[in-house]
């Protein structure tokens, strides 16, 4: 006869595995809702939906690691949802908000039929393409990198920069001025290329929540802080986004100096550097709990 207790434990285990994917699905839902809001001209609501998607994205990987329910399926599903919520949704938002041809009076290409393709559409696509490349690189090298840092700007942070600019523009209820399309165009392209750059960015989830003796309590405090920040999100988020955006230019050279110093200490001043062919093959870290984007 089968053991009923074993069945209950197996059922509970399956329920736990569903939990992180539920947060991932909520992230996808908010990304989809953001696109609907953008199409209907509700740009502030669209930006807010992207932020809610980012919160769900922060929770899914954290819950998976804390409950030891990480899986390759979760990683791939998370990346697909991220491409929609933090690639497609912000691209549509920034294009319809500030980069449409009627707002950005510049054209770049002419089709054989004589129709023009706007620079704004190209910039929005570049953001989407760089986001997709960023996610692909992340998945390929997930087991080889330092879990405390991201290589390149994470795609949720890139989408957050776009959303924060939109919310900053609408921070005053009576704001009726049109956005500066040329500045938004430049910012979109810069953020896009930062996502595929080799700059190092802190992984806040890993350092604040995962490497902690009280992860559940820290997670609860983290969620409360986010909820409070949402109340003043139109004012607070943009400065925070700029700080994180520029932090890569400071963190990267500091880490490079630290690596050179550690190599000097290991090799010693009188020892010649190791030949590249003598260096051991890099071994991937355990991919059972990848730090999802």
Residues 6+ apart with CB under 8 A from 193: 130
Q: How many CB atoms lie within 10 A of CB 215?
A: 17
pLDDT level of residue 276 (50, 70, 90 thresholds)? very low
**What's residue 25's pLDDT?**
94
The percent of residues in the chain predicted with pLDDT above 90, rounded, is 39
Angle, CA of 54, 55 and 59, to the nearest 5°: 115
Angle at 161 between CA 287 and CA 136, to 5 degrees: 30
116 beta partners = 110
DSSP secondary structure string, 253-290? Answer: HHHHHHHHHHHHHHH-TTSPPPPGGGSPPPPPPPTTS-
Q: Are 181 and 103 in contact (CB under 8 A)?
A: yes
Please state at what angle helix 233-267 crosses helix 215-231, rounded to 10 degrees.
140
Residues in the chain: 293
What CA–CA distance (Å, rounded) separates 141 from 285? Answer: 10
d(CA 73, CA 21): 9
Query: If DSSP codes are grouped into helix, strand and coil, which group holds residue 210?
Result: helix
The answer, yes or no, to whether residue 143 has pLDDT greater than 70, is no
Of 81 and 274, more confident: 81
* Digit-coded pLDDT (tens) for 235-248: 888 988 999 999 99
| CA atoms of 48 and 290, how far apart (whole Å) | 27
Q: Can you give the pLDDT at residue 14? A: 58
pLDDT of 106 > 70? The answer is: no
Is the pLDDT at 278 greater than 50? The verdict is no
Q: Take residue 242 and report the two structure tokens written for it.
A: 């700029």
Question: 4-267 has which CATH code?
Answer: 1.20.120.1760
What's the pLDDT at 126?
96
Q: Which of helix, strand or coil describes residue 59?
A: helix
Which of the two residues, 11 and 262, has the higher pLDDT score?
262
Domain boundaries, the chain: 4-267
């Amino acid at each position: 006869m089968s053991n009923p207790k074993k069945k209950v434990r197996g059922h509970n285990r399956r329920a736990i595995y569903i939990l992180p994917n539920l947060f991932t699905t909520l992230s996808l839902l908010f990304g989809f809702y953001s696109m609907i809001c953008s199409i209907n001209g509700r740009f502030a609501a669209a930006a807010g939906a992207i932020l809610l998607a980012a919160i769900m994205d922060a929770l899914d990987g954290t819950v998976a690691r804390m409950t030891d329910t990480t899986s390759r399926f979760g990683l791939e599903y998370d990346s697909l949802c991220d491409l929609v919520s933090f690639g497609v949704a912000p691209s549509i938002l920034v294009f319809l908000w500030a980069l449409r041809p009627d707002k950005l009076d510049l054209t770049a290409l002419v089709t054989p039929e004589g129709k023009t393709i706007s620079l704004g559409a190209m910039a929005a696509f570049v953001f989407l393409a760089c986001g997709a490349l960023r996610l692909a690189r992340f998945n390929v090298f997930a087991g080889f990198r330092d879990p405390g840092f991201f290589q390149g700007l994470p795609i949720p942070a890139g989408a957050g920069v776009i959303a924060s600019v939109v919310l900053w523009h609408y921070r005053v209820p009576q704001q009726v001025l049109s956005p500066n399309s040329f500045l938004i165009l430049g910012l979109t392209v810069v953020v896009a290329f930062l996502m595929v750059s080799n700059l190092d960015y802190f992984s806040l989830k890993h350092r604040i929540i995962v490497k902690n003796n009280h992860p559940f309590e820290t997670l609860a405090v983290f969620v409360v802080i986010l909820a409070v920040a949402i109340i003043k999100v139109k004012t607070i988020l943009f400065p925070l986004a700029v700080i994180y955006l520029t932090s890569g230019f400071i963190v990267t050279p500091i880490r490079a100096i630290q690596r050179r110093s550690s190599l000097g200490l290991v090799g010693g001043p009188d020892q010649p550097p190791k030949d590249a062919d003598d260096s051991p093959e890099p071994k991937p870290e355990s991919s059972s709990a990848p730090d999802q984007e």
